[in-house]
Structure 1
Amino acid sequence: MHTKKHVISGVKPDSIAMELELEPGDELISINGKEIEDVFDYQFLTEDEYLLVVVRKSNGEEWELEIEKDYDEDLGIEFENGLMDDYKSCSNKCMFCFIDQMPPGMRETLYFKDDDSRLSFLQGNYVTLTNMKDKDIERIIYYNLGSINVSVHTTNPKLRCTMLHNRFAGEALKKIKRLSDAGIEMNGQVVLCKGVNDGEELERTIRDLTEYIPNMQSLSIVPVGLTRYREGLYPLEPFEKEDARKVLEQIHRWQDYCMEHFGTHFVHGGDEWYLLAEQPLPPEENYDGYIQLENGVGMITLLRDEFREALAAEKKDASLKRNVTLVTGKLAGPILEELVG
């Protein structure tokens, strides 16, 4: 029985879909006799050179279309939902959740908490794995998807249940091993909370995750973000300068170990630690290709390098004067002053 509707929202010009007279409003039923669950099914099935596509036209007619194309050639079909399925919402109540700390009155979509592994592959989102079922793991392995970004936070099962306020959060750690055993590449993240998962707990987490190198490609350690909208939430404290220096000392010690034993720095501190500790940021080569850039790891080093390269390529014109206003946060302020000063 056909249960999911995949309604075509657009057809790309000069595409196979346009040649076959597919139109917005038509519904994709199946490809090669298989129903489509989501975008991964669609991408996998449409890679073939020979396709039998069943489409229900907007007038109710069903068309069977035999398609011969180049391998991996796009059909040119667009859908309203890029995932081709409903987004999976978060089942946790994390003590550090940033969305819970957002001010009221903002647009509704900003308050949606996703925890969907498919968005990890498509957009780089971090997922906790707590709502991932066996069939989800099996599909990732079957399609050999990667890399997946995992919000680990701690490898202590009991502590993870507490931090995520989810009694199944500890069991999710077994999924990391299962994915690694199948050769799926991952990146990990720890949102560090003062007095909760730092110190010896962080030591345990890093040590445990090194067992999954090279499939666990990297681990970022970032400080918890706190806003003033924390009424009724877990009483977390901000990190101070000395705290940041201790965290960096721990990270650097593990980087030395990982370089010696695995040839990679593996564990990386978010830029905020260096700014808070008032310590120089690492050079480009320490970031292993900026593998955790979107998580705020190495952004300032990359900005500095690109800024200086761009200036060096420009001819100086002393007569050109321009008043420019730059807006940034308190921690990053001195960095921009250094660059434009």
Structure 2
Amino acid sequence: MVRVTRVEPGSIADELGILPGTELLAVNERPLEDFLDWEFLTAEDAFVVSARLPDGTAVEFDIERVDAEPMGVELAPPTVRRCANRCEFCFIEGLPKGLRKGLYIRDDDYRLSFAYGNFATLSNVKERDIARMLEYRLSPLYVSVHATPWEARKVLLNNPRVPNIIEQLTRLAEGGIQFHCQMVIVPGLNDGDVLEQSLTDLWDLGDAVLSVALVPVGVTQFSHLYTGKPMDAANAGALLNVVHQWEARAIDERDDRWVFGSDELYLLAGQELPDVEHYGEFSQIENGVGAVTALRARVRDGLAQLPRLDGRRIGVVTGTSMAPLMPDLLGQLRAATGAEFVLLPTENSLFGPTTTTAGLLVGADIRRALADRHDLDLALIPAECINDDGLFLDEESFVSVRESLPMPVYPSYDFIDALVPEGDAAVRSAA
């Protein structure tokens, strides 16, 4: 059963009399389990929907539509499948106590992998799940492989019952499913020979594996399960050597780079980040692969849109890992606008100094960075550190933080979004 939460005015659903709260029970007599069933079973031009209206009335809608016109319903989110693993490097295991409950949900859901690009280990899928993936051709999937050797993967996921990932991927690949894979690398556990075997196994799956990303393990001061070695410059450099070797093979044999190191690996190793062409379609940018390069490109392409802001002082709050990369970007912005951009590298007070990502800064960090800066005309903060509800990870609201500071503050993904002149509030406040 699937429940409707909103109906688009003037849509097919609206015309039929489907209301918020309606329970969608079946399509062509096939019971609906979740949004996947609804999306795939209603993809035809004609079908019958069995439903129960909010007042309990059972109805059937015989639907015919033209040119795949949307039904016009929003559905209640499904119950998220929880992760059964206890990975040492799990971000959730590195959270402090006392945050909002939603932050502690360890999702491991193949449906969210297909729909939103969330990485899933596939360790909790059953036979019927595999059958669904194949029937609906859920491709591509985003898979947390971490290691293909079975025993190594059991250790990494801290789960002796984890299935053989290569057997799973092989079966899905034979059904036409493709994958973007990630491996979070823990020094001493899945680097070295384990990493080579893992890459070999994934390579042997042919074009089913679209890309592989190597991501360095990241821990916070609360990561109580972690017993591995820290990721340092030497380890990061060794991993990038592996990336470059496999990349050369992939380009030679498949005309595709195939394997990528995350931005953090390059930063840890002190190596220059690749250019835009290196990342192709940026298929794993949400995994930190090419994010800095994409930012540089957006800034470069947006400079011509910026207004003159001569004499203005603009604070830029960022995490400590991005701080060394900012002077070049801020120099370009300064030349284009005439404004002075003041870099404010900020340490994470919630997760500790080992968490250096700008997107994990919390409300308290923003207050600390800006509270005494009466010399600034406005300030930009990382938009990634605020969720859709306007909250930081420490549950401070952006509105309350902004109102407590002595200058206008604006979230920004790439500077251009906050400074372009088309009626933007940041530009108006700086003018």
Deviations along 1:255-302, one digit per CA (max 9) or x if unpaired, are 001111111111100001111111111112221321111100001111
One-letter identity of the residue aligned with 1:258: A
Cα deviation for residue 316 of structure 1 reads: 6.8
User: SS at 1:326's partner residue?
Assistant: strand
In the other structure, the counterpart of 1:183 is 176
CA contact under 8 A between 1:30 and 1:53: conserved in structure 2?
yes
The DSSP-based 3-state class of the residue aligned with 2:212 is strand
Q: Residue type matched to 1:250 in 2?
A: V
Calculate the TM-score normalised by the size of structure 1: 0.93
The DSSP-based 3-state class of the residue aligned with 2:243 is helix
| Runs of at least 5 residues in structure 1 that lack an aligned partner in the other structure | none
Whether 1:203 and 2:189 are equivalent positions in the alignment is no
Q: How far, CA to CA, are the matches of 2:199 and 2:157 in structure 1?
A: 19
Q: Could you tell me which residue of structure 2 aligns to residue 269 of structure 1?
A: 261
Structure 1 segments, 4+ long, off by >3 Å, are 314-317
Q: Distance in 2 between matches of 1:297 and 1:58?
A: 46
Equivalent of 2:277, from 268, 282, 285?
Answer: 285
SS in 2 for 1:121: helix
Within 5 Å, give how 1:184-333 maps onto structure 2.
Answer: 184-231=177-224, 233-311=225-303, 313-314=304-305, 317=308, 320-333=310-323
Describe the shift of the 1:25–1:320 C-alpha distance in structure 2 as closer, same or farther (beyond 3 A).
same
Partner Cα separation in structure 1 for residue 239 and residue 306 of structure 2: 42
The answer to whether the Cα contact below 8 Å between 2:214 and 2:262 also exists between their aligned partners in 1 is yes
**What does the per-residue CA deviation read over 1:5-41, in whole Å, with 9 as the maximum and x for residues that have no partner?**
x232221110111111221222222221111111111
Q: Does 1:38 align with 2:34?
A: yes
Query: What's the CA shift for 1:315?
Result: 6.3
CA positional deviation for 1:71: 4.5
CA distance in 2, matches of 1:168, 1:321: 63
Q: Aligned residue for 2:106?
A: 113
CA deviation digits over 1:232-272, x for unaligned, max 9? x1312322212211111111011001111111111100001
| 1:75 equivalent in alignment to 2:65 | no
1:337 aligns with 2:333: no
In the alignment, which residue of structure 1 is the partner of 2:414?
none
Find the counterpart in structure 1 of residue 426 from structure 2.
Answer: none
2:144 is aligned with 1:148: no
- Secondary structure (helix, strand or coil) at the match of 1:289 reads coil
Provide the secondary structure at the position in 1 that maps to 2:48.
strand
State the partner residue of 1:16: 12
Secondary structure at the residue paired with 2:235? helix
May I ask how many residue pairs the two structures share in their alignment? Answer: 331
Q: Secondary structure at the match of 1:169?
A: coil
Deviation of the 1:90 alpha carbon: 0.4
Over 3 Å counting, the alpha-carbon distance change for 1:204 and 1:270 in structure 2 is: same
Shift of 1:336: 1.5
After TM superposition, give the deviation of residue 170 of structure 1 in Å.
4.5
Q: Deviations over 1:160-190 (max 9, x none)?
A: 0011111222523310111111121101000
* TM-score, length of structure 2 as denominator length: 0.74
Answering whether residue 58 of structure 2 is matched by residue 62 of structure 1, we say yes
Aligned sequence identity (%): 37
Cα distance in structure 1, aligned partners of 2:328 and 2:97: 35
CA distance in 2 between partners of 1:234 and 1:57 (Å):
50
Q: How far apart, CA to CA, are the structure 2 residues paired with 1:287 and 1:54?
A: 46
In the other structure, the counterpart of 1:103 is: 96
Asked if the contact 2:166–2:201 (Cα under 8 Å) also holds between the matched residues in 1, the reply is no
Tell me, which stretches of 5 or more residues in structure 2 are unaligned? 332-431
Q: Which residue of 2 aligns with 1:53?
A: 49
CA offset at residue 80 of structure 1? 2.2
CA distance in 1 between counterparts of 2:176 and 2:45 reads 27
Structure 1: distance between partners of 2:82 and 2:307: 52
Instruction: Output the aligned Cα RMSD.
Output: 1.5
For 1:244 and 1:46, how far apart are their aligned partners in 2?
A: 48
Q: For each residue in 1:168-223, what CA deviation from the matched residue of structure 2 results, as whole angstroms up to 9, or x when unmatched?
A: 22523310111111121101000000111111211111111111231100000000
Residues in 2 aligned to 1:230 and 1:67: alpha-carbon distance in whole angstroms: 53
- Higher mean C-alpha displacement, 64-73 vs 290-299: 64-73
Within 2, Cα distance between the matches of 1:331 and 1:10?
Answer: 42
